[in-house]
Each structure stands twice: as structure tokens, then as C-alpha cells.
Structure 1
């Protein structure tokens, strides 16, 4: 089969290829949330650039048969650079390096095609005009790619699913093979025979490959966002159903308690007080405990607090509540039950891990501060907290796919009313603070999505 290309363009300088590969790594290193200090990233980038240049020039001394090997070696250096400079997992780095490789191929091919078209026949590839074009194409392409990928990776948790990594790897391999097919053989239906035509095909195929990878990441981001919203909605619905059941139980308990108090009074009149007084006092105290309810000024909050206080009594947890429920006027019943239900559930879950009953303490306060409604819940904790790179707490439960959305649900509700959530931990005290702005003394929705 013929491999001869008519009017073939010169090969892309090794230096330009190395810079393109390095620049693509820079794009993705600054598009994701790195887990290492910026100084480490800078040192790794400097060493990575030197290594990539060295690998490219060394590969230029090898026979043509080692072309694939030299490309794999360059990709391996890019992979090591991303691993060391980002601190993300091995799987995440593999996902990033295949995207960086396709981007590097696209930028290098696009620049060389334009440079070969604009440069005079006898002009030097290192002439000021050529260097200026290099900086323009590489810089503009890198900035555009960074802006696009930063949005694509902003809300996505790494590492991605293994299936997505495999698909991206296949896309990158197919893109590389098709874009360089003409250099292997011009005698195929997908090959070019002219130098300009070959680079046109290469640039177009690389652009399509990058576009497919971009669309794949966009779809992954959408899927993860939809999964989180579905989990939050499911938790909202579960909290609301729990509230309705709790309200029915509390109403029934209050009626039973009220009726039994009258029955106890009647019994006292019929029996000897000296013999049965102590037993009746204990029974009345027990009924008083189960028949009592919170009265904050918000009936939904009353039900939630009464239900959670009963759980606290069963678990040996001491909780103090100072709440002005009237400040929640304007918040929907479902949001009230979900917000406080999630917050108290998280606190109770943490306090169950505390061995000492004396340290199972929680404090809840709901009060006005200026033009804001402030909700503060504090609880003691023993186990160390595990923070994720996005500032959220990792769930302590084994199944992260079904748990860990409590704080996200609280934050989602706070944002609906224009508020913010802050979390802090100090001296084994965990503090959750929700700040909600009031308009004319009441809460109002600012985002109904």
C-alpha cells in the first residue's frame, strides 16, 4: 500500500508538540479542583515541560517503527504530570489525560496547518511571525478549552464512573488512529493524498474527537446533577411523610394522655391514696412526658421537634431548644419539616456515636438577628470529620450513593429563600448555621427551581 503523500508538509517541530501536550495538561489541571498546594502544581508543571521536551527530542532520534512507542511515552509523561500536579486519583487522572491528549493533538495540528499556509516558502519556523502565531493559536485555544471545561468539571465529583473512563479512552484511541491514518497509508477511503489535505483531515477529526469528549462530560455532569436532585427530592418527600405520620401520632397521643388524666383522677377517688399514690404519680409523669409537645408558634416545627425530642429521650440525648417558630412564616411546611428534620437527624446520628451519656448534648436555636432569621444547631461529636474537596462532608454511612444528601438538602432549601449555610467544627462541637434573609419581617422564595 502506498504511504507517499504529495506535497507533504514538514513535520510539526518536536518543541511545538511538547508545548502543546504541556499546555493541554495545564488546561485540565486548572479546570478541576486540585488537591495539592499551588506550589507543588507549579513545580510539577516546570519539570513536566522539561521532561516532555526531552522525550520529544529523544523520540526524534528513534526509527519510524518506534513512532507509536514514542507517542505512548509522551502520554505516560502527561499522565504522570497530571497525577502529581493535581493529587486526584489514578482513575481520574486517566480520564483527564485522554482528554488532554486529544486537545494537544487538535491544537498542534490546527496551528501547524495555519502556520504552513501563512508562512513564506523559505521562511523559518522560528521567525518572529511564526512564534507570534504559535503564541496566539496555543494561547487562544487553551483559554477557550479552559473556559469550556471549567464549567464542565465545576460541579462533577471525581473520579468518574469506570464506564465513562473506558468510553473516553476508546474515543481518544479512535480519534488518534483516524486523524493519523494518512501518515500510515494514503490508499484507504479515509486517507488524504495531499499535504494540506492530510492536515485538514487530521485537524477536523481531532476537533470531532474533542467535541465528542466534551459532550460526554456534559452528559456525565447532567446525569450527576439529576441524580443529586432526585435524591434530594426523595429525601424531601420522605421527611414530609414522616412529618404527617408524626403529626397523627402526636395528636392521638395527646388525646389519649388527656383522657387518661381524667381516668387517673377518677381512680384516685375510688382507691386508698396511701397505698396507690406513688404508683399513680409515676404513671402521670410518664403520660405527661409522652403527651407534651413543643409550642414554638409554628405547628409544623412543633411536630418535628416533639418527634425528635422523643427519639432523643430514647437515645439518652439531652437537647435544649429555644425557637421562635413565628420567624418561619413564609416557609412552606415541607421545607420546614425537611430542613429541621435533616439537621436534627444528622445531629442525633452523630450523638449516637458518643459513648458517654453526659456528652450527648445538642442545642437548637431559632431567632432573629437584624434582618435575618438565624437557625443554629450545635452538637457534640467524637469521630473525626471527613471533608470532601468541594467543601461538603462525606457521609459516615457505607452506601454513599443513598446517603450524604442531608446537608445538601438543607443547603438547597436555604438557597430557595436566598439564604446560606455554614458548617464549622471546633473542640468536638459541630455547628450548623442557616442564615435566611427576611423581607418585611417574613421569609420569601427567591428561587423556585
Structure 2
């Protein structure tokens, strides 16, 4: 059976299919699917056919490798939401790992069978079968590790070039070493062990390289997130500062108008028509005056604006906060904490379409044991997944969605505070604890 061409063609197809299945698992973990699954499966099937043909035709190994990397790039770019630079890097990384597994498998077969001449290894059908089985089993072990590897951010041109250099160098090094080994040369057991050691070191270095790349991209992601958070906080602060100035003018106008009305009443006396007219004006003026008195003007402004949004969206907005002992919290942080917290609550309430479910936000702030405790509670219907006190959102743009929560945490941590998140079927709660260490 091992001598028949049909058997080797089928085995090559199966081997290539395993490689493509592992590749699909990798791409699914790294990026969001752009096309439907039918298009993706069709693309994978075409890739399997092309790679199988190249293998059967005994194409030059180096040219075949270049073609396979290109096929992987095209398959990734067409079927997933990804930029070209990330596509290039991931394609190189995958084939670097694949070569690493093949080299280790080759070394294991050589040692297990005491192969004296590596150039004759592929001429022995039994050894070829053993090599394919071992290398593909090693490749399959990569699947559980893919759950850990997450690079769900864009990679720019500069990062791709920097990261691709060591990857390409690693690939070339493995190719050069094994081309030298496959020359007509007798190898003893000691040399076979050295080859296995070299292969294992290369594989481990490849895996370490992937881990380092992941760390670099993750750190870059955190840096970008921090910059966005800082810019967003500054924008919020400037917005509410302007709003505060406007509110101050409104309050002054409110008090001036009240004095004018009292003067008019004293001058003209009782008049039924004038009384009604003045009463109507008074009602309109009162609507301009803030209904909140938290002992923080910027917080009063934020709450007034959010109350207006809640009224428009038929959301009950209940507030009970005394911010008198929190004057050490800087105004940009007050903006960041409360605006983001209430915005998230409003967003959750707006997802409630059932008129029988009451949309409500309750916000409380009080001092307990020298801690200023803020509790924001809102009704919800959407499922919220929590992991390590972090929200795992179902939104497509999960990166930007997390900016609000991270902005709150950054501001709270400046004052050695803590943020706790709780969620059940119909309720979402954020608790914030800030030590009152300053007076």
C-alpha cells in the first residue's frame, strides 16, 4: 500500500488539510471573519488543492514555501477583517512555526530509526509516513495554544517590517541548516542528537518569538489606548468646562430675572393677567436652573446634562450625591468617572425595547469608613460577560468600547481607589471606592 501513488496523494491531501485547519483556527483567533463561511471553506479547499499539487509535482522546496506563504496571505486578506501588514506578519509566523514542527519531526524520525544518511530518509516510504504523522501531530498541539495568542489589533507598516526581519531570518536559518544536513553525509547517533537539539531550539525560539511579538503588540495596544483615554478625558473636561461657564451665566440670569419680576409685581400690584404671565415666565426660568447640588459645580453640570438625555429617552434618573469631601479629585477625573459611567448606563437602558421594563439609573455617592463610595446601578437586558473584573463586550469595536471603562479605572487608580463591576440578568452595577486621604 505504501508503494502506490494513490495512497501518497491521499496522504498529501490529508496532511495539507490538517495544515489548513490549524491555519483556520489561528486566523479565527486573530481576526473577525469578513466573508461567510462558505467563501472561507471554498478558499481553503482551493488552497489545499494548489499546495497538494505543488507537493506531488515535487516543486522546488524554497519556491513552494514562498508560494505557500503568498497563498496564506491572500486567504487571510480576502476572508478576514485585517490590514495587509498584519496579513504578511501572520503568514510568515505560521510558516515559521510549520517549518519548526517539520524540522523537529525530521530529527525525531532520524533518531528513532538510527538514520545514517538524512538524504535517504525521504526515499524510504515508511520513514516518510512516520515523519508526516509526527510533524502533523506536533502541529495539532498548536491548537490549544491559539486560545492564548491574541493579536486583535492592527499592525502598521513600520511594526511589520521590524517584526518580520527576525521571522524571515529564522525561516532562512532552518532552511540553510537542513539543506546542509540533507547533503550526502553519514550521520552517527551523536550528530543525530545534535540535530534534534538544534531543531528543538529553533522550534522553541519560534514559539518564543511569537510570544515576544504578542507582548510587543499588546504593549503598543496599551500605549495607544492610554493616549486615546487621555485625549478623551481632555475633550470631556473642556466640554464640561464650557458647559459650566454657560451654566454660571444661566444661574446669574435666573437670579436677575427673579429680582426683576419681584420689582414688576411691587410696581404694578395685583393683576390677574400679569400674575399668570409672570407665573409662566417663572416656570420657564426654573427649568433653566440646575436641580442638582452636589457641592461640585462641574459635577452638577454633568448630572444636569445627563438628566436631560435621560428625560429625552424616558429613563428615570435618580441621584443622591454629596461631593463635599472630594474636592481633592481633579475636575478632569470627575468628568472621566461620572460622564463615562452614566453614558454606559444610558447606552444599556436604550437597548431595552420592552415597554414593560422600566428604564432606570440610580446614582449614589456617600462616605463610608473614610471611603467615598460611588454606586451606579442601571437596568439592562443585554448579556454582559465579566472576566477578571473586565467587561467582555459583544460589540464589533470592542477596543473603543473598553476605553470608557478603562478611563474610569485610570482616574480612580490615581487616588488609590478601586472599581468593582457586577452584573446579573436585569441589572448592571459599578461600585467605586476612593479613600478620603486628603482634606
TM-score band by shorter chain is 0.5 to 0.7
> CA, structure 1 residues 16+42, in 2 after alignment: closer, same or farther (shift >3 Å)?
closer
Q: Say whether the 8 Å CA contact 2:13–2:48 is kept in structure 1.
A: no
> CA, structure 1 residues 225+125, in 2 after alignment: closer, same or farther (shift >3 Å)?
farther
The residue matched to 2:149 in structure 1 has which SS?
A: helix
Indicate whether 1:392 and 2:389 are aligned. no
TM-score by length of 2: 0.61
Instruction: Select 2:254's aligned residue among 254, 257, 264.
Output: 257
- Structure 1 distance, partners of 2:168, 2:288, is 67
Q: Say whether the 8 Å CA contact 1:301–1:337 is kept in structure 2.
A: yes
- After superposition, the C-alpha distances for 1:71-121 in whole angstroms (9 at most, x for unaligned) are 22232333344456x533361433321111101110000110111111145
> CA, structure 1 residues 287+30, in 2 after alignment: closer, same or farther (shift >3 Å)?
closer
- After superposition, the C-alpha distances for 1:8-64 in whole angstroms (9 at most, x for unaligned) are xxxxx9789847854652452343244155666556545544442222121x1x5xx
- Structure 2 distance, partners of 1:83, 1:248, is 50
Q: Structure 2 matches for 1:258-277, cutoff 5 A?
A: 258-270=255-267
Q: Say whether the 8 Å CA contact 2:236–2:336 is kept in structure 1.
A: yes
Q: Structure 2 matches for 1:352-367, cutoff 5 A?
A: 365-366=361-362
Identify unmatched segments of 5+ residues in structure 1: 1-12, 350-362, 379-388, 396-403, 423-432
Q: Could you say which residue in structure 1 is the equivalent of 2:52?
A: 53
Q: Say whether the 8 Å CA contact 2:26–2:143 is kept in structure 1.
A: yes
Q: Say whether the 8 Å CA contact 2:315–2:361 is kept in structure 1.
A: yes
- Structure 2 distance, partners of 1:252, 1:192, is 91
Q: Could you say which residue in structure 2 is the equivalent of 1:94?
A: 88
Indicate whether 1:29 and 2:24 are aligned. no
- Structure 2 distance, partners of 1:148, 1:118, is 27
Shift of 1:193: 8.0
Indicate whether 1:224 and 2:221 are aligned. yes
> CA, structure 1 residues 320+15, in 2 after alignment: closer, same or farther (shift >3 Å)?
closer
Instruction: Select 1:305's aligned residue among 284, 294, 303.
Output: 303
The residue matched to 1:391 in structure 2 has which SS?
A: coil
Instruction: Select 2:404's aligned residue among 396, 403, 409.
Output: 409
The residue matched to 2:81 in structure 1 has which SS?
A: coil
Shift of 1:134: 5.4
Shift of 1:304: 1.7
Give me the CA root mean square deviation: 5.4
Instruction: Select 2:319's aligned residue among 317, 325, 334.
Output: 325
Q: Could you say which residue in structure 1 is the equivalent of 2:291?
A: 293
> CA, structure 1 residues 364+299, in 2 after alignment: closer, same or farther (shift >3 Å)?
farther
> CA, structure 1 residues 413+137, in 2 after alignment: closer, same or farther (shift >3 Å)?
farther
Shift of 1:303: 3.4
Identify unmatched segments of 5+ residues in structure 2: 1-10, 348-358, 365-374, 382-391, 413-417, 435-439
> CA, structure 1 residues 204+95, in 2 after alignment: closer, same or farther (shift >3 Å)?
same
> CA, structure 1 residues 434+208, in 2 after alignment: closer, same or farther (shift >3 Å)?
same
Single out whichever of 109-118 and 270-279 deviates more from structure 2.
270-279
> CA, structure 1 residues 74+214, in 2 after alignment: closer, same or farther (shift >3 Å)?
same
> CA, structure 1 residues 23+128, in 2 after alignment: closer, same or farther (shift >3 Å)?
farther
Q: Structure 2 matches for 1:113-152, cutoff 5 A?
A: 113-121=107-115, 127=126, 131=130, 135=133, 138-143=136-141, 145-152=142-149
Shift of 1:216: 1.9
Aligned residues: 368
The residue matched to 1:151 in structure 2 has which SS?
A: coil
- Structure 2 distance, partners of 1:327, 1:142, is 57
The residue matched to 2:395 in structure 1 has which SS?
A: coil
- After superposition, the C-alpha distances for 1:127-160 in whole angstroms (9 at most, x for unaligned) are 59974x75455434543x444443331xx43442
Q: Could you say which residue in structure 1 is the equivalent of 2:211?
A: 214
> CA, structure 1 residues 412+142, in 2 after alignment: closer, same or farther (shift >3 Å)?
farther
